[in-house]
Structures are given as C-alpha cells and as structure tokens.
Amino acid sequence: MATQAPEETILSETAWNKRRLYALAQRIGPSEREYDLTMPVTAPVNDEQIAEIPELDEDDVDRAVEQTREAAGEWREMSLDERADVLTKFANLAAKNRGELLDLLQLETGKSRAHALEETIDVPLNADYYADKGPGILATESRSSGIPIATSAEVQYDPKGIVGIISPWNYPLVLSFADAIPALLAGNGVVLKPDDKTPFTALRLAELLEEAGLPEGVVTIVTGDGPTIGSAVIERVDYLTFTGSSEVGKLVAEQAGRNLIDCSLELSGKNPMIILDDVDIEEAARGAIQGSFTNAGQLCLANERIYVHESIYDEFLAEFVEQTEGLELGAEFEFDSDVGSMIDEDQLQRTKDHVADAVEAGATVEAGGNARPEVGPYFYEPTILTDVPASSLPACEETFGPLAVVEPVSSAAEAIEKANDSDHGLNASVWSADRKRAKEVARQIESGTVCINDPFLVGWASYDAPMGGVKESGIGRRHGPEGIKRYTEPKTIATSAVGPLGPVPGIPDSVFAKGFSAISDLQRRLNQLRR
C-alpha cells in the first residue's frame, strides 16, 4: 500500500491497533505491488474509520490468480494426511487466538460478543471435521465394473485448481473459511474476495493458516469494488463459491455458466418458524429470539416468518414480546449486550422501510420499532410485528434486520402451506414437544435444512450433513462430504485384465456375440439376486 504506516493507536478496548491492521492489509493482492487507491474500513458501532485497504483492479486479480496457481502446486503435491495435519494445527491456532478474533469481529461488524463467539467456535470445529473425515471422503474408491474379474474401476478425486470465494460481511469468518477449509484440503488454491466492510478477519485467518504450515500464497485475498473485482475473479478461477443475495447470485451463476465453470451459491432466505400447539411456550419464545435477532437479524438463516398455532398464539406472543423487551442493545467488548449494531446505513434504512411499510398497511408493532442512535449510529430495536398484510415489504422480501412477523394458523397443514408459499427455501424450524410429529412436519417443508426445536445452530453445527438452499436460496451444498467433493473433479480409472473388450481374433463374431450376451445376462441375474 502507498499509505504511511499509522501510529499504534489503540482501537477501543480491543487487542488491535491501527499498526496491526496496516500490517494485515499488506497481505492483500499479488506480491510486490504498491496501491495508489485505497478504501476506508469503518467500525459500525461508531462509524469511525479504523483502517484502509487497497483497491485492486482487474490486472491485480489476474496476477493474484496466477501467483496462487503457482503456489498451489506444492500444496497439491502434499498427501491428504499432510494437508489434514495443517488444518488441525490451524484449528488449534484459531481456538488459541479466539479472544483477538472476537475483538476483530466486533470491530468490523458491530456484533454483540455472544454472537461473534459463534463464528470463532465454528471455524476450529469445521477445520477439525475436515481434517478428520476429509482424507477418507476423498480417498480413491473402488467401484463396480461391468464385467467383474475381467475388469475393474476406481475413482480418484482431483482438485479443481483455483477456487474463487466471494464472501459477505455478516459472517466474515464463517462464510469465507467454511468454504476455504474444504477447498484447501482437497488440494486447491484459494482466491478470496471478502466484503470490503470486513476484510481483516479473513486476513487474520489466512495468516494463521500460513503459521500452521500452509505454503505462502496458496490463499490470496483480493479487495476492491465488488462488481469489478468479483467479476474478475469469476473470469479467472476454476470453481466459484458465492454467498449473498439471490439477485446477485443469479448474475454470478450466469457469468460462471458462460465460462463453463461450476459454482455453489448460498443465497437469500425468508425462513419460516412453525410452532405447534404442544410446545413449551417459554422455550419456543427463547428460540424465536435467537432465530430472529441473532446478529441483529443480519443472518440468511434467520426466522423472519413465525407461524403459531392459534390455541397458543396469545400466550406465545406475550412471552415473545416480554423476552424481546428485555434484550440489551450494545457492542461492548464483553458479554454484556444481547444484540449488536447493524452493519451500515443501508441495512438500517432497509429495516426502517420494511417496518414503516407494514405499519402503513395496517400492521401492529408489538415490540421495538425504533432506531436507537443514542446507542450507536446503526442500532435498531428488535421488532415484532403482527397483522402484517401479505402485500407489505416484510411479508414479501427478506428484511435482513431485527424484524420478526408473527401470524396465527389453525393447523400444522396451514403452517406448512404458508411456509412453502415462498420463492426461497434455505432454512426452517419446527417446534413441538413430540419430536416424531415435528419430523413429520419437517419432511413436508420445502427447504434445504429444517431444524427441530432450534432455530438454526443445530443444523449448521451438523458438519457431516449438507447445508444449502432450494428454489431461489441457492444451488450446491457446504458441509459434509458434499461440501468437499464439490471442489474436486472425479476421475474414473477403468482397467481391463483381458485386453481390449471386443471380438477375439480366431473366434467367429457370432460365437463371441453369443458368449458375451450370456455372460452379460448372467451378471444381470446375479445383480438382481443381490438386491
């Protein structure tokens, strides 16, 4: 960067200072490059600038991808077990440095400390999962062949090459490295474009990866104008992972398709929460708090639509309102506050607009409904709306803010119908004292993940199970075997023990055809007997 290194000014009560952030920013982009243009990074809690990052151009991305491709050669030659050892060391380092990562997350996002904690716990667990299970998942597999004994087949999983990751600001640790970790274990290089609001958490994790033994340059981070740099990444990589809105996701998929590269997209959600008539009211209300107001509602898995059986609707609503009104706003670097700041003015205004539109159309504000500038510039009260018309903004669009809409339903069937009446299908939750009954409801919901008696964490933390969306909530899956095999090209190696499969010299074709048909029919019958 062309800017002068700043003084070691302490940033609030955190473990970070401007000199440390400046040093991290030097890791951005291709090596040996000075950047004349920079972009500010501000702290949402007070809207003050904390650092600057370079604004790269397309040529910089081109060089970054090529340098990553060169560096990844050494990494690819390492065995799966050796790469897994690096991830294990990385998991230990991420856990060891949790305190400073918490500070950095809060500094960049304005989250409450409790909500930031979820990310710092997730990354080591995710790395440990793939370090443990990944080598087995990607081991060369024997497959059935058409003619046993005479032929054999096996599949090996080769890395794609360079994986591009475009990650959002709301979960800058998790939604970058939940994708980078399996991509790396599979032997790929990674070019990561974090949101320019939150680059430093990704930079710090990349630094810890190299400390754990990842060869320098296998992960490269690029920053700059989102559409420009994001598009440049898609043009140059071999696989693309994107997390963001459905609108942008469609553009990403279109560009990836033109380049004939595969992609996985986790996109918007408008997630339902179904509360059946036999629930523990207090527990369900606590789940609604977590599902609706974690990270100030800036969560693609958030429950924005809550359907409650009419027999318990009044009691649930009263409990939900009471618990919501007891939440404390703030982003102190201690575990004192329940709900943190929104990321910026745009997100704050979107929430304001959704609430105002619903109220103007006849909705009732049961709790919240106000910005809180005395706490910080982008704080908004956790808000509960009822009687929300189906045509109003919070009924039709993802709010991505601390807003929950509560509606009574007459039966589980009605709740399922309303839950499925959406263009999205990322996450849902079902609440019942009878888990078997809840599962029966869950199976009928059109969603990539359905959680029972928990809003989203039980699904996200199931690292061995796939996570992703249906409809306009995305394509592809992260987590589990599906989450690592997407970063590979399966290669079939088929072997004949008898030479070319076909007519044999010296044997009449008619005799060969008769014998080959008999063997084929016998093999079919044996296969059918084994079913």
How far apart CA 314 and CA 292 sit, in angstroms, is 19
For domain 18-267+482-488, give the CATH superfamily.
Aldehyde Dehydrogenase; Chain A, domain 1 (3.40.605.10)
Q: Annotated catalytic residue: which of 108, 118, 300, 366?
A: 300
What local confidence, expressed as pLDDT, does residue 6 receive?
Answer: 65
Name the band, by pLDDT with cuts 50, 70 and 90, for residue 1. Answer: very low
Q: Which residue has the higher pLDDT, 526 or 327?
A: 327
Mean pLDDT across 353-363: 98
User: Is residue 294 scored above 50 in pLDDT?
Assistant: yes
**Mean pLDDT value across the chain:** 95
Angle in degrees, 0-180, between the axes of helices 98-109 and 80-96, rounded to the nearest 10: 70
pLDDT band, residue 149 (cuts 50/70/90): confident
Q: Dihedral through CA 254, CA 257, CA 263, CA 269, nearest 10?
A: 30
Q: Starting at the earlier edge strand, list the strands of the sheet with 449-452.
A: 364-367, 383-386, 403-409, 303-309, 271-275, 427-431, 449-452
Q: How far apart are CA 232 and CA 57, in angstroms?
A: 9
* pLDDT above 50 (res 446): yes
**Tens of pLDDT, residues 10-42:** 666 788 998 899 999 999 999 877 777 899 999
**Average pLDDT of the residues in 311-336:** 96
Q: What is the per-residue pLDDT for 7?
A: 63
Give the start-to-end residue ranges of the domains of the chain: 18-267+482-488, 271-462
Is 90 exceeded by the pLDDT of residue 77? yes
Please report the pLDDT score of residue 516 as a whole number. 81
Contact at 8 Å (CB) between 305 and 273?
A: yes
Give the whole-angstrom CA distance, residue 133 versus residue 136: 6
pLDDT higher than threshold 70 for residue 3: no
Residue 8 has a pLDDT of: 65
State the greatest distance between any 2 C-alpha atoms of the chain, in Å, as a whole number. Answer: 94
Q: What digits encode the pLDDT tens for the residues 112-136? A: 999 999 999 999 999 999 999 999 9
As beta bridge partners, residue 424 has 471
pLDDT tens by residue, 479-528? 999 999 999 999 999 999 988 888 888 898 888 888 888 888 888 888 88
Please say if 300 is a catalytic residue.
yes
Q: How many other CB atoms are found less than 10 A from the CB of residue 371?
A: 18
Per cent of the chain over pLDDT 90 is 87
Cα distance between residue 493 and residue 143, in whole Å: 10
Predicted local distance difference test score (pLDDT) of residue 333: 92
Instruction: Summarize pLDDT for 260-279 with one digit per residue, the tens.
Output: 999 999 999 999 999 999 99
Instruction: Note the pLDDT of residue 5.
Output: 61
Q: Are 300 and 268 in contact (CB under 8 A)?
A: yes
Of the chain, the percentage scoring pLDDT greater than 70 comes to 98
Average pLDDT for 409-420 = 98
* Residues 402/292, Cβ–Cβ less than 8 Å: yes
Q: What is the pLDDT of residue 331?
A: 87
In whole angstroms, give the CA distance from residue 126 to residue 183: 12
Catalytic residue among 266, 304, 319, 381: 266
pLDDT of residue 438: 98
Q: Which fold has domain 271-462?
A: Aldehyde Dehydrogenase; Chain A, domain 2 (3.40.309)
Q: What is the pTM of this model?
A: 0.95
Instruction: Say how many Å lie between the first and final Cα of the chain, rounded.
Output: 65
| pLDDT in the model for residue 34 | 76
pLDDT in tens, 154-195: 999 999 999 999 999 999 999 999 999 999 999 999 999 999
Question: Which stretch of 228-232, 379-383, 508-512 has the lowest confidence by average pLDDT?
Answer: 508-512
From CA 311, how far away is CA 274, in angstroms rounded? Answer: 14
In sequence order, what DSSP letters do the residues of 129-156 get, joined into one string? HHHHHHHHHTS-EEE--SSTTTEEEEEE
For tokens 């443990």, name the residue: 132
Residue 322 has pLDDT above 90, yes or no: yes
For residue 103, pLDDT beyond 50: yes
The reply to whether domains 18-267+482-488 and 271-462 share a CATH topology is no
